[in-house]
Amino acid sequence: MNRQPPREDDLAPTDDAIARHREALKARFPLPAPSKRSRRPAAGTFGLFAAALALAGGLLWLDPAYRSEDYASAAGQVQAVALADDSQVTLDGASRIRVSWHLRSRRVELQAGQALFAVAPMVYRPFFTEAGSTRIAVVGTRYNVSRLGDDVRVTVSEGRVSVRGHGDALLLTPGDQVRVRAGQLGTPLRTDASAAAAWVEGQLVFERTPLGEVLDALQRQAGIQVHLADATLAELPVSGRFERARLDGLPALLPKILPVELKTGTDGVSTLSRRGAKK
């Protein structure tokens, strides 16, 4: 379900957010009027002021969310989402995100599918993307994230991106791509970043992409489901460029470029099995 993005004034910078809390604290703990006999504040005043500062500091440290919204796209649909901070998120087919706004940060969880991010820079309010066990931190940049279960692929087009799994973080620059499998960072590779985001323009470009990811993209982009009879087939590499409008012919092409056979059952479900495998 789609929700309207929050208003611009709901996404004030951190200083404005602190100011709002400061005014609330002042209303909750008003300072006593100074005595004519002495302008020296009472000890209790210092205690109230310290408590107010501690509460404001705690709010900033915890970085609570004050608003969130969900967006989802249908299979075969590419949906552009304009966020209230001027960032842009483009959803691939059958993809879901949750956007949450915090006092000190902006966060998007990629729950399924693929998304292209163009992040508006805000030095004091970083933009975090979470996908399974993978966390991506930026200030302002452009990058593509695809997710299949807990396997995540991050490709950077502009700026710099920090990618963290269960262990250390990697700093990626334009043209870098890394695959994170179950929270474990792989080795960064150089790639054509524009090819990784070509799906926005209606093309799928694969560069030794695992077959499992190709079939996931096929289902998201065209609603075509193909099963694998052998889970090990998911790692077979696929390369090529395909138009979204012609994806219905991709399953029949796979046996020509991979050691697989395609069978379609009486129920209409297609299955890929290893060529020559015993039935």
Partners of residue 272 on adjacent β-strands: 228, 262
Let me know whether 16 and 97 are in one domain. Answer: no
**Residue 163 near residue 170 (C-beta atoms within 8 A):** yes
pTM given for the model: 0.74
Residue 81 lies in a domain: yes
| Of 168, 91, 97, the residue nearest 127 (C-alpha) | 97
For the chain, how many structural domains are there in total?
A: 3
Domain with 224 in it: what CATH number?
A: 3.55.50.30
H/E element holding 213?
helix 211-222
- pLDDT for 139 equals 80
Alpha-carbon separation of residue 36 from 30, 42, 45 (angstroms): 18, 13, 16
Let me know whether 214 and 187 are in one domain. Answer: no
Place of tokens 């262990």: 167
Q: What are phi and psi of 140, to 5 degrees?
A: -165, 120
Residue 2 lies in a domain: no
Tokens linked to 71: 């967006």
What is the rounded distance in angstroms from the CA atom of residue 260 to the CA atom of residue 256?
8
Let me know whether 131 and 102 are in one domain. Answer: yes
**Residue 250 near residue 272 (C-beta atoms within 8 A):** no
pLDDT tens per residue, the chain (279 residues)?
454 444 444 444 444 544 455 555 445 444 445 444 445 555 555 555 555 444 444 444 457 889 999 999 999 999 999 999 999 999 999 999 999 999 889 999 999 999 999 999 987 889 999 999 999 999 889 999 999 999 999 999 999 999 999 988 999 999 999 999 999 999 999 999 999 999 999 999 999 999 999 999 999 999 999 999 999 999 999 999 999 888 999 999 999 999 999 999 888 889 999 997 765
| Of 86, 88, 82, 152, the residue nearest 114 (C-alpha) | 152
Residue 115 CA, chain-centre distance (Å), reads 7
- pLDDT for 11 equals 45
Partners of residue 209 on adjacent β-strands: 238
Q: What are phi and psi of 51, to 5 degrees?
A: -65, -40
Domain with 78 in it: what CATH number?
A: 2.60.120.1440
Let me know whether 91 and 184 are in one domain. Answer: yes
List the domain range (segments joined by +) for residue 48.
Answer: 8-33+41-62
**Residue 78 near residue 204 (C-beta atoms within 8 A):** no
Q: What are phi and psi of 144, to 5 degrees?
A: -115, 135
Collapsed DSSP state (helix, strand, coil) of residue 124: coil
Residue 235 lies in a domain: yes
- pLDDT for 60 equals 46
- pLDDT for 135 equals 95
- pLDDT for 42 equals 54
